[in-house]
Structure 1
Amino acid sequence: MPAISSKGLAMPQSPIRKLVPYAEAATEQGKKIYYLNIGQPDIKTPEVALEAVKNNDLEIVSYSHSAGFASYRTKLAAYYEKQGIPVNAEDIIITTGGSEALLFTMGSIADMGDEVIIPEPFYANYNGFATSSGVTVVPVTASFDDGFALPPVSEFEKRITDKTKAIIICNPGNPTGYLYTKEEMQQLAALAKKHDLFLVADEVYREFAYEGKKHYSVLNQEGIEENAIMIDSVSKRYSMCGARIGCVVSKNKEFMDAAMKFAQARLSPPTFAQIASEAALDTPQSYFDDVIEEYVDRRDTLIEALEEIEGVKVATPNGAFYCIAELPVDDAEDFAKWLLESFDYKGETVMIAPASGFYSTPNSGLNQVRIAYVLKKENLLTAVEILKEALKAYKNEK
């Protein structure tokens, strides 16, 4: 039998999606599942985006420019300008989701065996992107007790070697919901400048900052124009996860030239999704105001309910739509499987994402789960009630 590559064998499973077979089996058994494992909002996609696809007059669905529609990049640059991010269309490459933007970035800045430093827990697929690029993730562990704030910059500096190429952050954070302060962003910028590293910021949740807090982009930091790379996506902003449109943005021309070669190799991003994404830029601010109000309400409802369960602790997020909860279990992955395989409460159960998969350090986050508050409040309350009953039953069974 032909052998699978070592890279293929090393590729990690997604903690968000690897329990899907258990969920499918539970559904076949007639159980209703509340999906708290994945950041798929139930917020409606802006009508202007949907109408642009329905009412287009294309006769041929042709390739676009490898960097994406010029009209979309120009309009997107204007959007960033309103956010205080001075970029031009030439500083933007449209990608097939933020995932491809991250793959292009790792491929452009690092060689096999090079290293990137990432505060953990982090978006689980960073492990997969690093593995596929032959890059080693060097983690700096953030603390649950302070809400996963940026670890001391000295901890980052200790880990810098001659193989270090970049520091990567997600802001606001997935899975933590932590929003980096202006001072924290300045500290990272200064460190990247000092050691001539790239500072890569995954900013796909930029609109979701709560209690009046401000999002500070990596491209807002002065003096690191050659170091800064921003990753973005329409998936969460417009509730368009299935569109698979993202972008990579940088003022560093050499980096953008390298990324463009990766873009050319995959030909072009999808046409209809670009049409929808370009139209979505006309979404009024009122849409985001309503969405943020809704997410804050959901967050507060979820956390209040979770904190009433004995033994459960929650790190309160101030951005995105995730939180990390510590459960009174030794192995959250075993518990998550058991929820789907062996438990139901009135014919219903929940699906959660074990948080250990969001760490790179072995045996970290074993009693933690990521919960996405992307369901309506009444569904969140029902899901937490199920979780409460499940923890009682699991404790008795184990």
Structure 2
Amino acid sequence: MPTISQKATAMPASPIRKLVPFAEAAKKRGTKIYHLNIGQPDIETPDTFLNAVKNADMKIVEYSHSAGNESYRRKLCGYYQEYNINVDQNDIIITCGGSEAIEIALLTCFNPGDEIIIPEPFYANYNGFSRAADVIVKPVASSIDTGFALPSIEDFEKQITPKTKGIMICNPGNPTGRLYTKEELEALSILVKKYDLFLLSDEVYREFCYDGMEYVSVMHLAGIENNVVLLDSISKRYSACGARIGAMVSKNKEIMAAAIKFAQARLSPPTYGQIGAEAALDTPKSYFTAVNKEYVSRRDYITEALNNIEGVYSPKPSGAFYCIARLPIDNADKFCQWLLESFNFNSETVMLAPATGFYSTPGAGFNEVRIAYVLKIEDLKAAMTCLEEGLKVYPGRTI
């Protein structure tokens, strides 16, 4: 039998989805599972999106332009303008979710063997797509003890070699919930200028910033306009994960002229998703006000509940809808599997994402998990009860 490729062998499994077989088996045994492992909100998708799709009057579902429908791109410019991001429709390529935006950006900006510096822990797919593009991830560590603040510029600079081509960040952050400050980003921009690096920024959670903290985009940073690539998605903004609509945005004409060739190779982004996304730009502000308020309540509950469990620590996130928790356990991968395979409390258990998959440094995050607080508080309470009871009897508990 022929062997599969080395690239396929090296491709990491998703820490978010790799435990699915164990969850499916638990459900077959009659165990109810609270899914805190994946950023799939239980918030309803706005009617603006759903009604546009329902009412679409088409006889043929045609290909769109490879860059996405021009009407959507033009309207999207108005959305960005609300955040003081000034672009035109030619600066935008609509992608099949934020994931494809990441993939196309890496393929456009990096050669095989080039290095990209990413603060860890980071969204697991950065690692997967970098592997697929033969780009080498050079992690720079952030710490749970500092609330995952952006590492110092000195720490970034220590990672720079002749092969370094760029830096990638997520702001607000997945998996940490960290929101970087203007001062942190301006310091980073100095480094980008000094070494003439690309700066890729995943900003899909900009709607979800808490406690009066300000969202600052890399597109606001002066003097590096041609270095910056913004990565975006509607998945979380409108709770429309299955629509698979994202965007790659840059004012660098050379980047966009090259990126469109990758977009042409996959033909076009989803037609119905674009129809819904364009209409969703008219979603009233009241929708986001209510959603933001709900996430603040969930965040406040989950962080208090976690920190009230003996031996658990979790810093309070300032954005997105994730947090990292440090647990008194020997191995996060084993613990998360054990919760599904060997534990239940009143026929219920909780599914978490081992944080090891959000690091590229071997051994890092071994006692941490990522929690997505995407369920209503009633379910979060039940999930935290399962976690607390599970920690009491887990064979690999460390304290």
What is the aligned partner in structure 1 of residue 243 from structure 2? Answer: 243
Q: Is the 8 A contact 1:42 1:375 kept in 2?
A: yes
2:282 matches 1:282? yes
Q: Distance in 2 between matches of 1:131 and 1:286?
A: 41
Q: Secondary structure at the match of 2:314?
A: strand
- Give the counterpart letter for 1:136 in structure 2: I
2:373 matches 1:393? no
Q: Is the 8 A contact 2:328 2:397 kept in 1?
A: no
Q: Is the 8 A contact 2:329 2:397 kept in 1?
A: no
- Give the counterpart letter for 1:24 in structure 2: E
What is the aligned partner in structure 1 of residue 337 from structure 2? Answer: 337
Superposed, 1:142-161 pairs within 5 Å as 142-161=142-161
Q: Distance in 2 between matches of 1:257 and 1:155?
A: 33
Q: 1:148-202: per-residue Cα shift (whole Å, max 9, x none)? A: 0001011111111111111000000000000000001111111111110011100
Q: 1:194 to 1:4 in 2, by over 3 A?
A: same
Q: Secondary structure at the match of 2:374?
A: coil
Q: Distance in 1 between matches of 2:177 and 2:13?
A: 22
What is the aligned partner in structure 2 of residue 135 from structure 1? Answer: 135
Q: Secondary structure at the match of 2:371?
A: strand
Gaps of 5+ in 2: none
Q: Distance in 1 between matches of 2:306 and 2:202?
A: 28
Q: Distance in 1 between matches of 2:289 and 2:188?
A: 30
Query: Normalising by the residue count of structure 2, what TM-score does the alignment of the two structures yield?
Result: 0.99
Gaps of 5+ in 1: none
Superposed, 1:96-107 pairs within 5 Å as 96-107=96-107
Q: Distance in 2 between matches of 1:72 and 1:383?
A: 40
Q: Distance in 2 between matches of 1:308 and 1:318?
A: 19
Q: Distance in 2 between matches of 1:396 and 1:183?
A: 41
What is the aligned partner in structure 1 of residue 110 from structure 2? Answer: 110
Q: Is the 8 A contact 2:63 2:268 kept in 1?
A: yes
Q: Is the 8 A contact 1:33 1:348 kept in 2?
A: yes
Q: Distance in 2 between matches of 1:143 and 1:343?
A: 30
- Give the counterpart letter for 2:278 in structure 1: E
* Length, aligned pairs only: 398
- Name the Cα RMSD after superposition: 0.9
Task: Give the drift of 1:395.
Answer: 3.9
Superposed, 1:193-342 pairs within 5 Å as 193-342=193-342
- Give the counterpart letter for 2:51 in structure 1: E
What is the aligned partner in structure 2 of residue 28 from structure 1? Answer: 28
Superposed, 1:63-82 pairs within 5 Å as 63-82=63-82
Superposed, 1:82-101 pairs within 5 Å as 82-101=82-101
- Give the counterpart letter for 1:55 in structure 2: N
What is the aligned partner in structure 1 of residue 348 from structure 2? Answer: 348
What is the aligned partner in structure 2 of residue 167 from structure 1? Answer: 167
- Give the counterpart letter for 1:356 in structure 2: T
- Give the counterpart letter for 1:6 in structure 2: Q
Superposed, 1:13-24 pairs within 5 Å as 13-24=13-24
Q: Distance in 2 between matches of 1:140 and 1:188?
A: 13
Q: Is the 8 A contact 2:331 2:396 kept in 1?
A: no
What is the aligned partner in structure 2 of residue 363 from structure 1? Answer: 363
Task: Give the drift of 1:303.
Answer: 1.0
Q: Distance in 1 between matches of 2:100 and 2:219?
A: 20
Q: Is the 8 A contact 2:68 2:93 kept in 1?
A: yes
Q: Distance in 2 between matches of 1:103 and 1:298?
A: 32
Task: Give the drift of 1:396.
Answer: 8.0
